[in-house]
A and B are shown apart, each in its own frame.
Chain A
């Protein structure tokens, strides 16, 4: 008892553990309190016929249409500079406005339907965009003189909202914050599995049973983070794709990597001899980790996916992360990785105590 109290009083938490806590507290606060930029949620009607005057009702998000009503401008964009500016805009309240457009009866390109993008600029409140807001079907009578209407207006002098804000993305909206909570789970899992494979390599070289204990502790915690990543992803998918599981390539690959390591744990439990167990674990672990690399980093890039951040570079693509988000995303990844390493260390120390008894 005496000894215990002396060890307790001299106990110091390592600096990187403090760092993990502080970083994660920062991530949880910043991830929650920073607001989103204004966006457009809905436009009604979403279909119209060309050659007519239309009035569209716009529902905004985080928008303050009543402040500086005079600075509201709206365009419908076909492509590039081919735009139509709104004649008149009426703000009903902070989140609802009506804009009237005249859609010319002819189009510079020939298609069956013309998806138009709504661009809204609002002085100091910044710009918001809704892609494919309205689908226009061609008019029955076409007046070629109206062609020049498409080129009369230009989108210029648009504003950027000042201050720290996360970007507004359609479909994602507030769940863009999951970048700080869901995505780091996978980074953490991969790093933990990597550390585990490294300890397996050490075991292969030295044959010290301690390395086996370490590598298994890291796999255990890596599995926990993997399951967390999958469950949080499923909750998100249910409310975005309307199904917990929709066989998206990223979901599949993550499930497979979890299956591989679960198989490893099952294999361990069915070997009796300790040395045999450690050797088989080390071999399979290294083999699995090497095969995991094409599975997680190459195949998802070659397949179409609905997952945000897709289009070549998963998760770190320039489109989905702006500089404000990076300032929280990188700390989030580092913080969760440090937390994962910390927990794995605790598991390892527990297993070691148990083994020594």
Chain B
């Protein structure tokens, strides 16, 4: 559950920073042909997938631990 909240929080952070940077220097994220949008998209995909994998990893370790206790 906590991981889920962290995940949503992180995504929101990315969106917010992207948004904030867009405001302070009006053209940062839109500069160089909006290449930073592509960068943001790639980062969101990679970070989300990594977080999902980490969550899965933790789940598996928990199962392994329980399995060990049973033997």
- Check A347–B56 contact: CB distance below 8 A: yes
Decide: A350 near B41, CB < 8 A? Known: A174-B34, A228-B48: no
**A61 CB–B CB distance under 8 Å:** yes
Q: Which of A107-115, A178-186, A260-268 is the interface stretch?
A: A178-186
Given A174-B33, A239-B37, are A224 and B48 neighbors across the interface (CB < 8 Å)? yes
Of residues 20 through 71 on chain B, the ones whose CB sits less than 8 Å from some CB of chain A are 22, 29-30, 32-35, 37-38, 40-42, 44-45, 48-49, 52-53, 56, 59-60, 63, 66-67, 70
Q: Is A353 a contact of B63 with CB atoms below 8 Å?
A: yes
Residues of B within 8 A of A347 (CB): 56
B18, B32, B38, B53: the one within 8 Å of A177 (CB) = B38
A306 interfacial contact with B, CB 8 Å: no
A355 vs chain B, min Cβ distance (A):
10
On chain B, the residues within 8 Å of A36 by CB distance are 33
Please count how many residues in chain B sit with their CB below 8 Å of the partner chain's CB atoms: 30
- Chain A residue nearest to B60 (CB atoms) is A350
**B45–A174 CB distance below 8 A:** no
- Give, as a whole number of angstroms, the nearest-CB distance from A331 to chain B: 16
Q: How far is the CA of A244 from the CA of B38 in the complex (A)?
A: 15
* B63-A181 in contact (CB<8A): no
**Given A353-B60, A353-B63, do A181 and B38 touch, yes or no (CB 8 Å)?**
yes
- A346 in the interface (beta carbon within 8 A): yes
Contacts of B14 in A (CB 8 A): 235
Q: Which residues of B contact A238 (CB under 8 A)?
A: 15, 18-19, 22
- Residues of chain B within 8 A of A177, CB atoms compared: 38
Chain A residues near B22 (CB-CB < 8 A): 238-239
Compute how far the CA of A235 lies from the CA of B11 in the bound complex, rounded to whole angstroms.
10
Check B52–A343 contact: CB distance below 8 A: yes
Query: Which of these, B33, B37, B52, B59, contacts A235 with CB under 8 Å?
Result: B37
Query: Most chain-A CB neighbours within 10 Å: which of B15, B29, B42?
Result: B42
A32 to B39, CA, bound (A): 9
Contact A181 B41 (CB under 8 A): yes
Q: How far is the CA of A267 from the CA of B6 in the complex (A)?
A: 24
Is A258 in contact with chain B by the CB < 8 A criterion?
Answer: no
User: Assuming A174-B38, A178-B38, is B45 touching A185 (CB within 8 A)?
Assistant: yes
Q: How far is the CA of A181 from the CA of B35 in the complex (A)?
A: 13
Cβ of A66 < 8 Å from any Cβ of B?
A: no
What separation, in Å, do the CA atoms of A269 and B70 have in the docked complex? 27
Q: How far is the CA of A137 from the CA of B30 in the complex (A)?
A: 31
A353 to B45, CA, bound (A): 28
Contact in complex: B30, A350 (CB < 8 Å): no
Interchain nearest-CB distance for A277 vs B (Å): 20
Bound: A240/B22 CA distance, A = 12
Whether A178 pairs with B33 at a CB distance below 8 angstroms is no
Assembled-state Cα–Cα distance A181/B34 (Å)? 15
CA distance A62 to B32 in the complex (A): 10
Residues of A within 8 A of B30 (CB): 239
CB within 8 Å for A357 and B66 given contacts A174-B32, A350-B56: yes
Complex CA distance for A325 and B16, rounded to whole angstroms: 31
6 more CB-based (< 8 A) A-B contacts, given A181-B41, A224-B49, A346-B56: A178-B38, A231-B48, A232-B40, A234-B15, A239-B18, A357-B63
A-B contact pairs, 13 of them (CB 8 A): A173-B34, A175-B34, A181-B45, A182-B41, A224-B49, A232-B40, A236-B37, A238-B19, A238-B22, A343-B56, A350-B59, A350-B60, A357-B70
